[in-house]
Structure 1
């Protein structure tokens, strides 16, 4: 039985393999299996992780557990958030007010002073700065919100990707990111330059060369990477 083939029931209380319940038990809550074949579960004893045979990985119990990413899982112990290894051991000494999931071996966290930053797999701070908010890394780039209220992109070393600041900002997808300035939402390249002149109320990331956008008068349309109108939808 491969972990990739084990599914979560609609009630989120047990697991299915080829449509049949496995492990001969139900839980209060389950989340799906992640590599290398570990799933978060919750029963009357608390929250923990099980392997592909339904066996617990460790004896500790937590307030809440989440899936494994980059060989680390976020857990909550009372009001303290941190990550554990696949052996169930705490991955580093610090605890936080909140932690995300590791992406590309880096993870966004919020400390008890409500400051966001990224840590590496050993729990070390990845750069010296603190931010109002910091999102996940994707392809080596993350979005952060500065104390000024503006958003910028940073690379995996914490350096700014370009000199541009925006009112709001999305991650890069297919070489372009969504960004908002005083006139509205649009798409930018890695230099922070707008790839077309129009501005919209809403824009989605490009999907194989095309993006769904919504004008300020609520007209939805599809545009190409030059910003040209392809059709109204």
Structure 2
């Protein structure tokens, strides 16, 4: 509960952030994990909805809209002499036994499933993952088998979504710790410039709270799906301003007395 109180405080008061510098490192690490969790809430919701709708759309499309096909000896054959491209919502499904499509072309579709001549391609948010058929050795499969597999996958949707969200959280947490660590190093430069009594541990703790404002702002923008121009520059500018103002609140170093 105290972590959430500090989360609220750190949104508006550099003086409060400066006072947190004496906090234990363990509590600060826990705070960063909590902040990372809050940051992925909108993305987790959208990811879950995307995965769920994509699996459902793929099931229906493969079963109803695609002709019979088979993958054998590392190559796709199908009852069609031209590529088939089906759009279901935001998802594109491509069946291409001719070799016309490439994974690069599928990336342009943002979200797509490609059953291509030599490989299977899955595209999510413009990033393609390719699996060549011959990488599985002596591999063969038919449309009916894929339909059965899709049905089984549909039953595992909660598990797949849960695993995807856990992976997203781990990536988010790692990124946030790297972000705080880099900011803490910059904090040492600010400390020297302002002649403040701040060691690296204290800089790291203050950095962890200084990233809160920009992180929650970005989370809200993601929730309403609003684009932030020059997002990286804006976020780091806010981080640095918050840390600068926080370090400024720390007492200055005492100059040694001069004996005349």
User: With structure 2 as the length reference, what TM-score do the two structures score?
Assistant: 0.20
* TM-score after normalising by structure 1: 0.22
The structure with the greater share of residues assigned to strand is 1
Computing the radius of gyration over CA atoms, which structure comes out larger, 1 or 2? Answer: 2
Specify which structure has the bigger relative contact order, considering alpha-carbon pairs within 8 angstroms and separated by 6 or more residues: 2
